[in-house]
Structure 1
Amino acid sequence: MGRTVAIDIDACIGCEACVEECPDVFAMGPGDLAQVTNPDGADEECIESAMDMCPVNCIIWED
């Protein structure tokens, strides 16, 4: 089984950078915080780009 993308909600500040960069994977959820809505919605390059854009580095890979 491969890795999957996740968001550390405790660290998220709701900047929406991940949603703008990779909207097929991320969306804004409760409390105006980002959430993963479709972990298979885009390739790893798009997800990695969203990770790089995140100012608080709250997007992580989980095994």
Structure 2
Amino acid sequence: MNPGKNKPAPAVPCVDLECCILCEVCVELAPHAFKMNDAGFVEVIPLDRYDDKETLEAVNNCPRDCIVME
């Protein structure tokens, strides 16, 4: 039996761009996980894990609650 086989996939932040007011709080708190793309929208930077303190703080401090962990 593979011990890691039944583990859930790690949570990844997902930004609701219709809700986002482009305040850049997430970018300021976790620049390694979020960035403003060339089109001027928040983008999640591909990482292996998003459970570090800064990323979770960015998710929790979004003023419009536009970021959820999925």
TM-score class normalised by the smaller sequence? 0.7 to 0.9
Gaps in structure 1 of 5+ consecutive residues: none
Give structure 1 regions of 4+ aligned residues with deviation exceeding 4 angstroms.
Answer: none
How many matched pairs? 62
Residue of structure 2 equivalent to 1:53? 61
TM-score by length of 2: 0.72
Task: Quote how far apart the aligned CAs of 1:30 are.
Answer: 4.6
Gaps in structure 2 of 5+ consecutive residues: 1-8
Q: Which residue identity lines up with residue 53 of structure 2 in the other structure?
A: E
- Structure with more of its chain in strand, by fraction: 1
Q: 2:45 aligns with which of 22, 37, 61?
A: 37
C-alpha separation in 2, matches of 1:40 and 1:50: 17
Residue of structure 2 equivalent to 1:12? 20
TM-score by length of 1: 0.79
